[in-house]
Amino acid sequence: MVPERYPGFSTLQTSPLDGDRQLIAGLNRKQRQELVDFLAELYRPQAASNGTDSGSGEQGDQNPTAPPAVTAPNQPGLSQPGDAQLLMP
């Protein structure tokens, strides 16, 4: 990981990169896999809204799957200049 590309490099006084590396190094194999799976799910593009797969339509009818509990994470974007003014009464 290039430190200059790590989130928060240009905005935080202390980069969280070293702490994050230490934390990840302390994870066991199962915990690392769960982290990777979570991040992959977080950044995976959502399936088509019509619900059809690229295979036979019958397969979807035989094994219907419930949509994930969180379909789109509600995460705030990075702040922009002037955003703090929006908090003023």
| Spans of all domains in the chain | 18-42
CA distance 43 to 46: 9
CA distance 7 to 16: 8
**pLDDT tens string for the chain (89 positions)?**
788 888 888 888 888 888 999 999 999 999 999 999 998 998 887 755 445 444 444 444 555 565 555 555 566 677 778 877 777 77
CA distance 85 to 48: 38
Give the per-residue pLDDT at 78: 73
Give the per-residue pLDDT at 1: 76
Q: Judge whether 24 and 32 are in contact, CB under 8 Å.
A: yes
- 3-class DSSP state of 32: helix
